[in-house]
Structure formats: structure tokens, C-alpha cells
Amino acid sequence: MKKLSTVFVFILLLKITNLMAQDHKAKILVLIHSDNGGTYELAKEIASGIENSNNATAVIKQVKESQNPKLKNIPVASVEELPSYDGIAFGSPVYFGNISTGMSEFLSKTVNLWTNHALEGMPATVFMSAGSGAGKELALNAFWNTLAVHGMVLVSNGIRGTENINKTIPQGNTVLGVTSMASLKDVERPTKDERELAVLQGKNFAKTALALKGTFTSKQTAVSGIEKSEDINTILKQKNIVLPKVPLPAGNYKPYVRSGNLVFINQVALKDGKILNPGKLGVEVNEQQVKEATKATMLNVIAVLKEAVNGDLNKVKQCVQLTGIFNTKDDYTKHADLMNTASDLVVEILGEKGKHARATLGASSIPVNSSVEIQAIFEVE
Ligand SMILES: Cc1cc2nc3c(=O)[nH]c(=O)nc-3n(C[C@H](O)[C@H](O)[C@H](O)COP(=O)(O)O)c2cc1C
């Protein structure tokens, strides 16, 4: 028994020592956007360089979900978590001598971090996957521009490791950060040397991050000043809400029109190419069936809205107004009850941003014998 408790105390001490050691390590995020996996290949080398010294831990995350089998299991980072790290290594494909659209979109959501000085003084380093390599240094520089606005400490690579690389082929070494030239097919990319340069960049970055750990903005203060916004795509997934395909227009009109920052959408209860529960309430359909049709109609509205914001529902600022029109008999009065199905759904998905002004009314008939039509106005970024 005594022996057993000694072993238990020993294991406990080992665990505590391990936890304390973890706390002393620099916690580094390797944050990437990648279309074809080239940036991810570099990211893995950067991460292994970071962890090489045993003084830092690295976690690779991406800025948005990917369907690419090589990338789909990489976790997606939230904007709000960025201040919780001791350093961030940013990686992106080169797009027209610039950072990629995916990375740019993610960074454009960091305005709250910027105004709260949440990343100020935190070390950052950058790396990129290019095609031919045209404009790669311009692109790295563009990365730096954004991070400099955040007040991050930009850790360059200098001419680290270049003395040992094979100089008979083009290599992605630059003083700002490592790159790879994926479309040069003479050798596999990233080359062995580019991978080695990425490891060196990771090692050097970890050293700086460890040295600066704890010297910049109090993370808690910074984070608490930021209004947390939940990712709408994650909410849809968590709630098992599947958006339908955008219904095609049945006449000379568009599924939506954007005027300034307002998007106008009108939909009926089309589901899988047919009207769900068609007819007049109290004659062909009952209230429960109209509620089902109302939910299908609202899902159509949100599917169209998603198209209007180029697939990113996080760009919706507010559901401004919903108007629900129901095919009812003259003496029907409970339109509000029916419409709550649509209102509840939009609030479930968009939270506070889903709260709207509302009108409901009855009609003697609705196009294509739908039991409901919804008109919606949204404000978007
Ligand atoms: C819109 C677009 C613009 C691009 N512009 C450049 C460029 O200016 N220079 C370059 O070398 N490669 C360019 N490329 C190629 C990508 O940088 C290259 O395919 C990269 O390896 C992709 O990285 P990934 O494998 O992580 O997706 C461009 C690709 C796209 C889609």
C-alpha cells in the first residue's frame, strides 16, 4: 500500500512538473490559408522547427474550412483566440504578388483586435507558397504591412541557412521568410532545402517568441474588450442546419438585389423543386403544415443571403425586416404565430444580428399555391 502511494505521488509530481514546464514554453500558432496544400507543407516544417528546441509548442490552424482532403482536418482558428498566443507564424499562398483572398478576409475581421491593441508587441513571422515565385517578396511585404498596422514584432529570416542550399535550382529563400515555388516542376516542392529553411525559420521564431513571452499586452484585458462574434458556419454545423440550394428565379427577376449595404430577398416554400405543403390554411393545409412551409421558406431566404455575401454569413450585420404573407381565409388572425417559425430560425442562426422588425399579413392567394411567402431585408458588410 505504502509502495503504491509513493508511486502515485511520484506520478503526480511528474504531471505537475510537466504542466509547469508547458507553462514556461512559448505557445505559438501557425496560422495558414492554403488551397492546394503547398502552404501546409511549409507550415508543418515551421511547426517542427518551433518545437525543435523544446521551449515552444506549435499548433497549426487554418483561417477557414477547406474541402481539400489534405486540409479538411486542420482546425479553423477564430479571430478571438489570436491574443492568447505568444507568437503567430502566418502562412499563405501568393496571390498576384499579395496575400491570398482567404488570408486577407480573415485578417479583415481583426479590426476589433487592432482597436484594442490586442496583438501589439506580439512576435509574428510569415511564409508563403508561390507558383512561379513572381512577386513573392512583394507578397511577403504585403503580409508585413497588415501585421505592422497591428503593431506586431516582425521577425525576419535574414540570410539564415542560405549557405547550404543547392544554388543550381531556384529556391524560395528570402530575407523576410521562406517561400516555395510550387509550379517549378523540376523537383518536388517544397524542396528539401526549402523545408530545411522553414525549420530554421521556426527555430528562430520560437527563440524570439520565448524571449518576448509575457512582455506584451495583457491578453485578458485585450480579449475582454473584444465583442465575441460566433462563426455562423460553425453554428449551422452545431445545430445541424443544412441550407438548401438557392431556388432559381421563375421569371425576369434575380434571387436577390443588393442596394448599398442592404440585400432584398423574396422566397416561397420551394423544397427539392416542389412547393412544400401547398394550399390555403384551414382548407388544404393545417397550421403545423404552414409552419413547416414557413421554415423551408426561411431556409431558402438564408441560402440566397449566403450567396449574396459570397458564402460568408459572418458578413451579415443585421436582419432588418421580415414580412410574412400567408394564404389564409378572411377571418384568420394568428399570422404572428406562424411567422414565429421564421423569426426564431433567423435568431437561432444569427443571434442578436437576427433580431428584426416584422410585418405579417394574410392573402387570398400566393404564387404557385405556396401557403407562405417571405420578404426579407438584411444589412451586410
Ligand atoms: C488568384 C491567384 C493568384 C496567384 N498569383 C501568383 C503570383 O503572383 N505569383 C506566384 O508565384 N504564384 C501565384 N499564384 C500561384 C499560387 O501562389 C500557388 O499555386 C501556391 O502554391 C498555392 O499555395 P497552396 O498550395 O498553399 O494553395 C496565384 C494563384 C492564384 C489562385
pLDDT at residue number 250 = 83
Distance from Cα 132 to the centre of ligand 1, integer Å: 8
Measured by CA distance, the residue closest to atom 2 of ligand 1 is: 95
Confidence class for position 53, pLDDT limits 50, 70, 90:
confident
Locus of grid cell 491578453: 219
Position 220 scores a pLDDT of: 47
CA distances from 381 to 260, 310, 311, 375 (A): 10, 11, 13, 20
Ligand 1 centroid from CA 76, angstroms: 21
Residue minimizing CA distance to atom 20 of ligand 1: 130
pLDDT tens-digit profile of 261-292?
Answer: 999 999 999 999 999 999 999 999 999 999 99
Specify the residue with its C-alpha closest to ligand 1, atom 28.
95
For ligand 1, the distance from its centroid to the CA atom of residue 93, given in whole angstroms, is 5
Looking at ligand 1, which atom is closest to the CA of residue 130? 17
Domain 24-229 sits in CATH 3.40.50.360: yes
- pLDDT band for position 7 (cuts 50, 70, 90): low
Question: Is 137 close to ligand 1, i.e. is its CB under 6 Å away?
Answer: no
Instruction: Please state the pTM of the whole predicted model.
Output: 0.63
Distance 194 CA to ligand 1 centre (A): 17
Angle at 317 between CA 314 and CA 323, to 5 degrees: 115
Q: Whose CA is nearest to atom 9 of ligand 1?
A: 134
Q: What pLDDT was estimated at residue 2?
A: 58
Q: How far apart are CA 175 and CA 159, in angstroms?
A: 6
Contact 162, 212 (CB under 8 A): no
Write down the pLDDT at residue 221. 47
Classify domain 236-380 at the CATH topology level.
60s Ribosomal Protein L30; Chain: A; (3.30.1330)
In tens, the pLDDT along 57-113 reads 999 999 998 999 999 999 999 998 999 999 999 999 999 999 999 999 999 999 989
List pLDDT tens digits, range 216-244.
Answer: 865 544 554 444 557 888 888 888 899 99
- What pLDDT, on the 0 to 100 scale, is given for residue 16? 47
Residue nearest to atom 29 of ligand 1 (CA): 95
Q: Is the pLDDT of residue 377 over 80?
A: yes
- In the prediction, which pLDDT does 282 show? 95
pLDDT of residue 151 exceeding 60: yes
Q: Where are the domains of the chain?
A: 24-229, 236-380
Per the prediction, the chain carries an average pLDDT of: 91
